[in-house]
């Protein structure tokens, strides 16, 4: 039996085990998916091989550490330096990123998006900003601290911290910070969030499984919103295809992964 896992800190909230196990069970694929609470990202590679994993997902805050741990990085992950999916290919650790495509899938229903504000500048923000710029979307980034903004400046995004933020009009604002994940914090000070929400058509939060204070405020202003569930589904389907080496039909993977959301 093949063993897969998700690494993160925190990781107890992750729905990935349910999603992947639902696919394996219904499609009779001989595999099992578990979760590993990893506090030290530098131990990722040795833990992966010590557990005898065939593949894994990586979540907050280890996606950049996962990139560094790989023997080879493929596709979009190479461009962004952020890995969320790991495959054991003959004892070598191969890294991919399925977050950005998962997110593009999630926002399809919002129609044409030309201007986006990303809150946060971590691994998820990097993947999304790169993909948005690739799609020709004007992308701004607002982060608590300035250190992580260099990557986004190089990409051509308008970059701000809380103290120098200049508001514009957005089609979509995306929260990629972990504010609200295990606390009740907003991704930026209240006055800034008020101003931002008054200048956007749509809101998305990467966090799923709970209504974050940010999403709650957006809903209170009757803005069309979504949490991170569709993004989770999109990235999960793409990761599962890699786990099973494309042996299962994408439509079947999507069907049984979606079903796990009803559990």
Query: Catalytic site residues?
Result: 63
Q: Coil, strand or helix: which one is 143?
A: strand
Question: How many Cβ atoms are within 10 Å of 172's Cβ, its own excluded?
Answer: 20
Q: Which of 73, 83, 121, 173 binds ligand NDP (CB under 6 A)?
A: 121
CB of 52 to ligand NDP, least distance (A): 25
Q: Is 208 in the site for ligand NDP (CB under 6 A)?
A: yes
Q: Is 176 in the site for ligand NDP (CB under 6 A)?
A: yes
Nearest Cα to Cα of residue 55 among 93, 25, 18: 93
Hunting for tokens 């998962």 — which residue is that?
A: 102
How would you classify the pairing of strands 92-96 and 31-37?
unpaired
Question: How many Cβ atoms are within 10 Å of 250's Cβ, its own excluded?
Answer: 12
Kind plus residue range of the DSSP H or E element containing 134: helix 123-134
d(CA 66, CA 84): 7
CB nearer ligand NDP, residue 21 or residue 59: 59
Q: Is 122 in the site for ligand NDP (CB under 6 A)?
A: yes
CB of 189 to ligand NDP, least distance (A): 9
CB nearer ligand NDP, residue 84 or residue 222: 84
Give residue number: closest CB to ligand NDP: 122
Q: Is 60 in the site for ligand NDP (CB under 6 A)?
A: yes
Q: Is 179 in the site for ligand NDP (CB under 6 A)?
A: yes
> Alpha helices, DSSP H only, in 136-228?
150-155, 190-197, 213-220
Q: Which of 187, 197, 204, 254 binds ligand NDP (CB under 6 A)?
A: 187
d(CA 210, CA 188): 18
Radius of gyration of the chain (CA): 18
Site for ligand NDP in 209-238 (CB under 6 A): 228, 231-232, 235
Site for ligand NDP in 125-154 (CB under 6 A): 125, 143-145, 148
Q: Which of 77, 120, 171, 239 binds ligand NDP (CB under 6 A)?
A: 120
Hunting for tokens 């200048």 — which residue is that?
A: 199
DSSP secondary structure, 56-84, as one string = EEE-TT-HHHHHHH-SEE-THHHHHT---
Write down how long the chain is: 263
Q: Is 123 in the site for ligand NDP (CB under 6 A)?
A: yes
Q: Which of 21, 85, 130, 177 binds ligand NDP (CB under 6 A)?
A: 177
Q: Which of 129, 207, 244, 248 binds ligand NDP (CB under 6 A)?
A: 207
Upper half-sphere CA count for residue 227 (Cβ side, 13 Å) = 16
CB nearer ligand NDP, residue 85 or residue 177: 177
Which residues contact ligand NDP by CB under 6 A? 59-61, 63, 99, 102, 120-125, 143-145, 148, 176-179, 181, 185, 187, 206-208, 228, 231-232, 235
């Amino acid at each position: 039996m093949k063993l897969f896992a998700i690494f993160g800190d925190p990781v107890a909230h992750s729905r990935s085990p349910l999603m992947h196990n639902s696919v394996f069970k219904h499609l009779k694929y001989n595999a099992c998916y578990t979760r590993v609470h990893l506090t030290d990202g530098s131990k990722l590679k040795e833990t992966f091989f010590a557990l005898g994993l065939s593949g894994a997902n990586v979540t907050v805050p280890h996606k950049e550490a996962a990139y560094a741990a790989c023997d080879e990085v493929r596709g979009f992950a190479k461009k962004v330096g952020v890995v969320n999916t790991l495959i054991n290919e003959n004892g070598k650790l191969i890294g991919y990123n399925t977050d950005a495509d998962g997110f593009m899938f999630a926002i399809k229903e919002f129609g044409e998006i030309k201007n986006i504000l990303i809150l946060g500048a971590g691994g998820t923000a990097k993947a999304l900003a790169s993909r948005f710029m690739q799609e020709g979307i004007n992308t701004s980034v607002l982060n608590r601290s300035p250190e992580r903004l260099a990557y986004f400046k190089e990409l051509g995004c308008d970059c701000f911290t809380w103290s120098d933020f200049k508001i514009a009009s957005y089609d979509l604002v995306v929260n990629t910070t972990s504010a609200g994940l295990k606390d009740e914090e907003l991704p930026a000070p209240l006055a800034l969030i008020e101003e931002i929400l008054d200048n956007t058509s749509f809101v998305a939060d990467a966090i799923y499984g709970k209504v974050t204070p940010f999403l709650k405020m957006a809903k209170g202003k009757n803005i069309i919103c979504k949490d991170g569930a569709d993004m989770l589904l999109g990235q999960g389907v793409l990761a599962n295809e890699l786990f099973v080496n494309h042996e299962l039909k994408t439509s079947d993977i999507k069907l049984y992964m979606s079903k796990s959301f009803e559990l």
